[in-house]
Every structure is written in C-alpha cells, then in structure tokens.
Amino acid sequence: MTLFKIIDRKTGKEPTERVIQNIAKRGNLMTCDIDGFYVSEDGLIILVDDCGNCTWLDMGRFKVELQTGQEGANE
C-alpha cells in the first residue's frame, strides 16, 4: 500500500489545521466539512470538502511525500 503526506515547504512539516482552514477559505470550501487531500495522477494536490468542492494547492509551497510499505501505516 502506498501512503502519502502533504508537506509544507515553508515548515518542512505537514500543514497545520490553521493552514488547511485558510486554504479552504480561499478556495470557497465548506471549512467545517473538509474531507481531505487528494493527489492527482500528475502529482497535483487537491483539498476537497464533503460537498465535492475542491481547490488546488500551490505546488511551490506544498509537496507530496510518498511512504511505501509499512512505514507510516500506524500513524
């Protein structure tokens, strides 16, 4: 199984709830009902709410970090 993390290039860590909420607000998503991140087949990162609304993340600021096998499976 392949898992992934979204990394904020500014901090080197996963985005905080505050950062996610700000992205959702700018993208006109339902901030109280965020579903999660999706990665397209060409590597674009998308934030989606439970209503199906989505917004794309700035690829200059965020990146996808892949984890394969058991690494990260219990997080």
Average pLDDT over residues 3-8: 93
pTM for the full predicted model? 0.81
Domain that holds residue 50: 2-68
- What residue type is assigned to position 21 of the chain? Q
What is the count of structural domains for the chain? 1
- pLDDT given at position 14: 96
Residue 68: its pLDDT value, please?
Answer: 75
In a domain? residue 74: no
Residue 75 placed within a domain: no
**Which backbone phi and psi does 27 adopt, to 5 degrees?**
-90, 5
Closest CA to 53 of 35, 75, 73, 71: 35
Phi, psi of 22 (to 5 degrees): -65, -40
Give the residue carrying structure tokens 């904020």. 8
Neighbours of 6 (CB within 10 A): 19
Residue 35 in any domain: the answer is: yes
Residue 1's pLDDT is what? 59
